[in-house]
């Protein structure tokens, strides 16, 4: 059991020695003010909305793309 405790203590970092090695000023991060930033509501960086076409519009486009039928005159025999 003592060997397991010794292995555990050697594998974890020693937090009590941290105050001796480093000064307190190095441990505390420097506080800075938060800089406000305006939201970008209408910019090109944001994703543009995609307008979905209705079924009527899609059907009209498909019908316009189809070539019109040209009938030949019928031969009389």
- Alpha-carbon gap, residue 19 to 27, rounded angstroms: 9
SS (H, E, C) 24-67: HHHHCCCCCCCCCCCCCCCCCCCCCCCCCCCHHHHHHHHHHHCC
DSSP 22: S
The pLDDT tens digits for 9-59 are 887 666 665 555 555 556 777 888 899 988 877 766 666 677 889 999 999
Instruction: Please say if the pLDDT value at position 65 is more than 70.
Output: yes
- Sequence-distant (6+) residues with CB within 8 A of 53 are 61
What predicted TM-score, i.e. pTM, was given to this entire model? 0.29
């Amino acid at each position: 059991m003592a060997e397991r405790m010794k292995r555990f203590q050697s594998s974890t970092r020693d937090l009590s020695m941290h105050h001796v090695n480093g000064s307190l000023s190095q441990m505390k991060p420097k506080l800075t003010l938060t800089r406000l930033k305006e939201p970008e509501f209408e910019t090109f960086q944001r994703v543009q909305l995609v307008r979905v076409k209705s079924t009527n519009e899609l059907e009209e486009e498909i019908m316009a793309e189809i070539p019109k039928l040209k009938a030949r005159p019928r031969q009389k025999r």
